């Protein structure tokens, strides 16, 4: 229970910190990566392109304007005045294609990312969207319709160029030029260390049987080591406080230093190539040195990050906040005994209607948890039958009848859970499951083995797991928090991880560094206003420039006692306005956290449209006379392994309704 409460504390702090930093991050320039691209696919060239190159457009345009292979395309594209007001959709199709060809295929300039707004692409002389609309007599709604086409077509074209196969000239040129712009060398296996590409002279990295080997001397010297070649071809790399030693052909590497004595086994041993260069398996050696290693498939690059060093670098600016993050909760319950946690979360959704009257749907959910350190027994209830009716009345074309029935059942159901920590088995019983899985009788349980592993696979990536581990050990810090929230292990282009983390840390530093935290006796106070979101992030926090933050306030007070956190309270106000009054959204949050209670109120208000509110109350207390908790369903209850409802190794339940819900 102590670990659970400490986790709640840390998550609450993460929630409080997330809004302002996200706003800052959104205002920063994004590197030209391809993280939104789907997997590489080999496509055949369309028949239209083979028959008539002049009219083929991978974007879907049908104009007879000169095709993408004609260099006159660069200089002869008509202006909007020349094109006229007819077929503007077609004009935007071809303008998008023209825009990407100019940058990607013919210019030596970096490809702008995110792409510039449509109005700027059409008329670079216009200084604002308002000026553009006035100049061309265009309504804002009509412009947004065109910009949707602009965004979609450019995405499709970029995907075409990147994903038409590695033997595609455009794909290769796009990738190689992008790699050169960030400092890599096209045509070779690249190695990046802490955001910088290693430069190899003479000997270069090689891939042998899917293992990347790099020249030993340059690799270790890049890391700051002094390299010595001793008698018998033994190689020693000396760092400040330890050294590593190995011999090409041997399957072991030794690490020695004050308090350090380790031997690492190589899966693929080092070797000396025909030119006399010593090579080492880069992933194995880097991981032995304590670094994180990623493979960027798109850029053919090994990415190495000194994670501990990066986290320490970030933490230097957050001494006070890190002190708080490492504190335990005061009077937190121990893992002994039985503890009962009750959760209540009523809510409502109100949709405004000036003609037929406002409509409100109530939402209710509650839960009860009992745990003794060996098992958890829980009962959950969800009651929101009005919600789906309200949403369906507003958006009837977006919900199919069969989905409506299914979602209604899901939002008005209950469930019982038994989690056996010792055997790592989860048991679930719910009328909803029985109604959707034909072979599951009413009142029967589903059992899931290796429950913790399953939950981690579904919900927790490698970075989050590291953060949770540190949280449980009392070693959580802002550096680890920022690195974990970057989602490094989920990146499509890992070459950008290091710079992105540094950039995010700068955003948090401007808001939560030591100078921003005030100490009031035993209390720590954080108070931020709109003025703290300075520079571009406050005036134009989104790449589209259609939104701006007009209200922001964050107040957090953390009370401590005897080196522990007694309670945390605070509130958040955040409002963003879309230019020209098309949309205004305001978020309000109030929270209180202590060892035995968590209270959270959350409201999101869309101006002249709807307001949704939730109020959560969670309380924990020891049950002095509690009965023994269930380790498994009661004797006589039917239990079915989840494997009974999964066929052929695929996660396809024998129920069309289950598949609909998953979709």
Least confident stretch, 33-42, 54-63, 637-646: 33-42
> What is the distance between the alpha carbons of residues 196 and 638, in angstroms, rounded to a whole number?
59
**More confident position, 185 or 138:** 185
pLDDT at position 446 is 93
> What is the distance between the alpha carbons of residues 561 and 566, in angstroms, rounded to a whole number?
6
Alpha helices in 411-459 (DSSP H): 431-436, 451-459
Q: What is the mean pLDDT of residues 98-107?
A: 59
**More confident position, 94 or 10:** 94
Statement: residue 238 has pLDDT above 60 = yes
pLDDT at position 414 is 92
pLDDT at position 331 is 76
Q: What is the pLDDT of residues 240-262, one digit of tens each?
A: 999 999 999 999 999 999 888 99
φ, ψ for residue 569, nearest 5 deg: -140, 155
pLDDT at position 232 is 67
Confidence at 145, pLDDT banded by 50, 70, 90: confident
Which DSSP helix (H) or strand (E) runs through 503?
helix 497-512
Statement: residue 149 has pLDDT above 90 = no
- The most confident of the ranges 230-234, 249-253, 329-333 is 249-253
**More confident position, 326 or 538:** 326
- The most confident of the ranges 81-95, 444-458, 490-504 is 490-504
pLDDT at position 27 is 35
Region for residue 60 given its phi and psi (left: phi exceeds 0; alpha: psi -120 to 50; beta: otherwise): left
How many other C-beta atoms can be found within 10 angstroms of the C-beta atom of residue 214? 26
Rounded to whole angstroms, what are the CA distances from 558 to 281, 320, 465, 518, 568?
48, 12, 26, 11, 5
Per cent of the chain over pLDDT 90 is: 36
Q: Which domains does the chain have, with CATH numbers?
A: 47-180 (no CATH), 188-298 (3.30.457.10), 334-471+621-663 (no CATH)
When the pLDDT of each residue in the chain is averaged and rounded to a whole number, the result is 76
DSSP string, 207-245: EETTEEEEEHHHHHHHTT-EEEE-GGG-EEEE-SS-EEE
Query: Is residue 290 packed enough to be buried (19+ CB in 10 Å), middle (13-18) or exposed (0-12)?
Result: exposed
**More confident position, 207 or 36:** 207
> What is the distance between the alpha carbons of residues 17 and 321, in angstroms, rounded to a whole number?
11
Statement: residue 442 has pLDDT above 60 = yes
Do β-strands 639-641 and 445-449 pair in parallel, antiparallel, or remain unpaired? Answer: parallel
Q: What is the mean pLDDT of residues 171-177?
A: 76
DSSP string, 249-274: T-SEEEEEETTEEEEEE-SS--EE-T
pLDDT at position 55 is 34
Statement: residue 112 has pLDDT above 60 = no
Confidence at 141, pLDDT banded by 50, 70, 90: confident
DSSP string, 552-586: EEEEEEEEEETTEEEEEEEEEEEEEEEGGGS-EEE
Do β-strands 196-197 and 206-208 pair in parallel, antiparallel, or remain unpaired? Answer: unpaired
Do β-strands 252-257 and 260-265 pair in parallel, antiparallel, or remain unpaired? Answer: antiparallel
Confidence at 416, pLDDT banded by 50, 70, 90: very high
pLDDT at position 47 is 34
**More confident position, 123 or 315:** 315
pLDDT at position 122 is 83
Statement: residue 650 has pLDDT above 50 = no
Least confident stretch, 161-175, 209-223, 411-425, 456-470: 456-470
Tokens of 369: 């948890």
Given the structure tokens 């869309």, which residue do they identify? Answer: 606
pLDDT at position 455 is 65
Rounded to whole angstroms, what are the CA distances from 3 to 9, 47, 248, 334?
10, 61, 46, 9
Tokens of 54: 């002049």
| 3-state helix/strand/coil string of 121-162 | HHCCCCCCHHHHHHHHCCCHHHHHHHHHHHHHHHHHHHHHHH
Q: ∠ CA(342), CA(347), CA(353), 5° rounding? A: 175
Q: What is the mean pLDDT of residues 401-422?
A: 81
Rounded to whole angstroms, what are the CA distances from 157 to 93, 100, 208, 379, 498?
10, 8, 35, 50, 28
| 3-state helix/strand/coil string of 91-109 | HHHHHHHHHHHHHHHHCCC
Per cent of the chain over pLDDT 70 is: 71
Q: What is the mean pLDDT of residues 212-229?
A: 93
Query: Taking a C-beta distance cutoff of 8 angstroms, is the pair 27, 361 a contact?
Result: no
DSSP string, 369-403: EEE-SSEEEEEEEEE-HHHHHHHHHH-GGGS-HHH
**More confident position, 391 or 291:** 291
Statement: residue 295 has pLDDT above 50 = yes
Statement: residue 25 has pLDDT above 50 = no
Statement: residue 31 has pLDDT above 50 = no
Statement: residue 304 has pLDDT above 90 = yes
Confidence at 60, pLDDT banded by 50, 70, 90: very low
Q: What is the mean pLDDT of residues 446-453?
A: 85
Helix, strand, coil content of the chain in percent (nearest 5): 35, 30, 35
- The most confident of the ranges 11-20, 327-336, 360-369 is 360-369
Strand order in the sheet with 211-215: 206-208, 211-215, 278-281, 271-272
Report long-range pairs for 584-590 (Cβ below 8 Å, ≥24 apart): 586/551, 587/19, 589/15
Largest alpha-carbon pair distance within the chain?
A: 91
**More confident position, 571 or 149:** 571
Q: What is the mean pLDDT of residues 531-543?
A: 49
Q: What is the pLDDT of residues 602-632, one digit of tens each?
A: 999 999 889 999 999 999 998 888 788 999 9
Q: What is the mean pLDDT of residues 124-139?
A: 83
Statement: residue 536 has pLDDT above 70 = no
Least confident stretch, 131-135, 242-246, 253-257, 535-539: 535-539
How many other C-beta atoms can be found within 10 angstroms of the C-beta atom of residue 145? 14
pLDDT at position 481 is 87
Tokens of 7: 């986790």
> What is the distance between the alpha carbons of residues 361 and 35, in angstroms, rounded to a whole number?
39
Statement: residue 312 has pLDDT above 60 = yes
**More confident position, 515 or 391:** 515
């Amino acid at each position: 229970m102590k670990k659970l409460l400490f986790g709640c504390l840390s998550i609450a702090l993460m929630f409080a910190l997330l809004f302002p930093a996200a706003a800052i991050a959104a205002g920063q320039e994004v590197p030209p990566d391809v993280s939104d691209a789907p997997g590489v696919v080999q496509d055949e060239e369309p028949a239209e392109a083979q028959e008539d190159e002049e009219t083929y457009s991978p974007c879907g345009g049908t104009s007879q304007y000169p095709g993408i292979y004609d260099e006159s395309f660069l200089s002869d594209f008509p202006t909007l005045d020349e094109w006229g007001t007819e077929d503007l959709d077609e004009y935007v199709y071809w303008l998008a294609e023209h825009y990407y060809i100019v940058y990607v295929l013919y210019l030596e300039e970096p490809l702008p990312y995110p792409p510039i707004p449509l109005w700027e692409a059409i008329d670079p002389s216009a200084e604002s969207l308002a000026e553009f609309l006035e100049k061309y007599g265009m309504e804002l709604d009509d412009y947004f319709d065109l910009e949707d086409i602009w965004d979609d077509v450019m995405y499709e074209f970029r995907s075409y160029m990147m994903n038409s196969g590695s033997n595609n000239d455009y794909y290769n040129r796009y990738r190689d030029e992008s790699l050169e712009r960030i400092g890599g060398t096209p045509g070779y296996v690249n190695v990046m260390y802490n955001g910088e590409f290693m430069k190899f002279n003479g000997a270069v990295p090689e891939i042998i049987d899917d293992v990347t080997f790099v020249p030993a001397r340059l690799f270790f010297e890049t890391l700051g080591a002094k390299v010595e070649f001793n008698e018998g071809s033994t190689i020693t790399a000396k760092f400040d406080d330890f050294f590593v030693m190995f011999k090409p052909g041997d399957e072991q590497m030794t690490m020695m230093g004050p308090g350090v004595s380790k031997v690492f086994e190589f899966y693929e041993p080092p070797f000396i190539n025909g030119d006399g260069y010593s090579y080492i398996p880069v992933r194995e050696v880097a991981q032995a040195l304590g670094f994180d290693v990623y493979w960027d498939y798109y850029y053919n690059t090994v990415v190495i990050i000194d994670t501990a060093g990066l986290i320490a670098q970030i933490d230097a600016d957050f001494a006070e906040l890190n002190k708080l993050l490492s504190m335990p909760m005061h009077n937190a319950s121990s893992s002994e005994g039985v503890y009962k946690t009750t959760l209540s979360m009523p809510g409502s959704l109100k949709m405004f209607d000036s003609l037929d009257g406002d409509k409100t749907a109530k939402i209710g959910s509650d839960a009860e948890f009992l745990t003794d350190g060996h098992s958890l027994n829980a009962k959950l209830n969800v009651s929101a039958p009005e919600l789906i009716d309200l949403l369906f009345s507003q958006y009837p074309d977006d919900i199919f009848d069969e989905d409506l029935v299914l979602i209604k059942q899901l939002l008005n159901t209950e469930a019982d859970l038994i989690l056996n920590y010792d055997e790592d088995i989860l048991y679930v019983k719910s009328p909803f499951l029985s109604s959707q899985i034909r072979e599951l009788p009413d009142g029967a349980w589903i059992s899931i083995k290796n429950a913790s592993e399953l939950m981690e696979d579904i919900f927790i990536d490698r970075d989050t797991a590291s953060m949770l581990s540190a949280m449980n050990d009392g070693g959580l810090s802002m550096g680890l928090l920022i690195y974990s929230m970057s989602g490094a292990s989920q990146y499509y282009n890992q070459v950008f991880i290091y710079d992105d983390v540094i950039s995010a840390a700068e955003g948090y530093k401007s808001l939560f560094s030591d100078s921003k935290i005030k100490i009031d006796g035993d209390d720590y106070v954080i108070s931020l206003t709109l003025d703290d979101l300075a520079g571009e992030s406050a005036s134009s926090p989104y790449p589209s420039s259609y939104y701006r933050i007009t209200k922001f306030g964050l107040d957090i007070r953390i009370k401590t006692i005897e080196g522990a956190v007694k309670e945390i309270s605070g509130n958040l106000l955040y409002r963003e306005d879309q230019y020209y009054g098309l949309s205004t959204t305001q978020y309000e949050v109030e929270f209180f956290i202590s060892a035995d209670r968590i209270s959270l109120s959350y409201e999101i208000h869309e101006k002249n449209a709807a307001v949704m509110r939730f109020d959560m109350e969670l309380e924990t207390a020891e049950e002095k006379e509690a009965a023994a908790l269930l380790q498994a369903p009661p004797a006589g209850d039917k239990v079915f392994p989840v494997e009974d409802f999964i066929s052929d190794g695929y996660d396809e339940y024998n129920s069309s309704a289950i598949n609909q819900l998953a979709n």
